[in-house]
Amino acid sequence: MRNSGSYRASKPRRGPRKAGGKTLRGRDFVSVEDFSATEIKQLFRLAADLKARPRMYRKALDGKIMALIFEKPSLRTRTTFDVGIKQLGGDSVYLSPAEINLGKRESVYDVAKNLERMVQGIMIRTFGHDICLSLAEHASIPVINGLTDYEHPCQALADFFTIAEYKKSLRKLKLSYVGDGNNVSHSLMLTAGKLGATLFIATPAGYKPDSKVVRQAQQLASETGGTIVVTEDPFAAVQDADVVYTDTWASMGQEAEAETRRAVFRPYQVNRGLFAKAKTDALFMHCLPAHRGEEVTDEIIDSAQSVVFSEAENRLHVQKAIMIELLRD
């Protein structure tokens, strides 16, 4: 069941609930909104320990099985969830688009009702965010969003964990995201709002982040001391930034728009000229896959300031922490 309104209510689960007050056990992770700042920080502490002492957690999810539903391609998400659950003593079942054909061969409701009898958790990568929400609503087991057209919450948590590894106090940093106002930008904005960070988003007119997400992120920021600014000026966004982040100009499913987008987004390329506006020790970040020569040049993504492969690795540690907390007995 989807955690409605007060998302803190745990899903009904088979078996006894552990005592001990608030817990992530049994919950979904469809949006960054689903976790409080305190819960995100707890996950980061667990992820750091998982990274430092992986062997201590070899039985953490002994015998638990995750269904991994993919309606879009993936390198990082598939590998990190698959390897992650196995490193925790569990296993996974990969379900390709051809196998399920969600909503066509079988309804989302029926998929939820089948899988909850067979596995202990579901990760889904799909197109419509409503599909992920619907799966979470109907499945009695935790559902994790592995990317929808609207959000990529696991990515954003891994990114902020990465920033925290490289930079000390998040609150004193200026983060900038340059490019498309897409799923990744949405989750970064919500995480920045939750954690009280300052994030400038620069997109071309017509490619801004969803106004509802901007409002949500700005509301969160007003409560946490953060700042969320949306602009069309990439140079203003990057000026004196501690982090410069970009993503592909055409997301999965937008391939037909790629040529048009290449022209529109050209001034938003992270190249030597734009990156020079950031602080001299600024990090370059990208969720990957990168389209080298489009949203970023080789000299920036291959520079010593690029932490793109640390972000990718940290997907593993952060998602292991998420799986442990959601799937624990």
Question: Does the footprint of ligand CP cover residue 309 (CB under 6 A)?
Answer: no
The Cβ of residue 6 has, within 10 Å, a number of other Cβ atoms equal to 6
DSSP 8-state symbol, 9: S
Q: Where are the beta strands (DSSP E) in the chain?
A: 65-70, 91-95, 121-125, 143-145, 174-178, 198-202, 227-231, 243-246, 283-286
Q: 60, 164, 175, 184: which one contacts ligand NVA (CB under 6 A)?
A: 184
Question: Does the footprint of ligand CP cover residue 314 (CB under 6 A)?
Answer: no
Q: 80, 87, 92, 182: which one contacts ligand NVA (CB under 6 A)?
A: 182
C-beta of 154 vs 170, nearer to ligand CP? 154
Task: Please name the helix (run of DSSP H) or strand (run of DSSP E) that holds residue 187, with its range, or none.
Answer: helix 183-195
Three-state DSSP at 244 gives strand
Residue 55 beta carbon to ligand NVA: minimum distance, rounded to whole angstroms: 30
Residues 110-139 that bind ligand NVA (CB under 6 A): none
- 223 with 264: CB under 8 angstroms? no
Question: Does the footprint of ligand NVA cover residue 183 (CB under 6 A)?
Answer: yes
Question: Does the footprint of ligand NVA cover residue 269 (CB under 6 A)?
Answer: no
- 149 CB-contact burial (10 Å; exposed 0-12 / middle 13-18 / buried 19+): buried
Q: What does the block give as tokens for 215?
A: 């409002």
Question: Does the footprint of ligand CP cover residue 75 (CB under 6 A)?
Answer: yes
Question: Does the footprint of ligand CP cover residue 155 (CB under 6 A)?
Answer: yes
Please give the Cα distance from 160 to 307 (Å, whole number): 12
C-beta of 112 vs 123, nearer to ligand CP? 123
Q: 252, 264, 267, 328: which one contacts ligand NVA (CB under 6 A)?
A: 252
Question: Does the footprint of ligand CP cover residue 77 (CB under 6 A)?
Answer: yes
C-beta of 11 vs 152, nearer to ligand NVA? 152
Residue written as token pair 């998982």: 50
Question: Does the footprint of ligand CP cover residue 288 (CB under 6 A)?
Answer: yes
Q: Which residues are catalytic?
A: 125, 152, 155, 247, 287, 315
C-beta of 65 vs 288, nearer to ligand CP? 288
User: CA quadruple 24, 27, 30, 36: dihedral positive or negative?
Assistant: negative
Which positions lie near ligand CP, rule CB under 6 A? 74-77, 147, 155, 287-289
Q: What residue ranges bind ligand NVA (CB under 6 A)?
A: 147, 182-184, 247-248, 251-252, 287
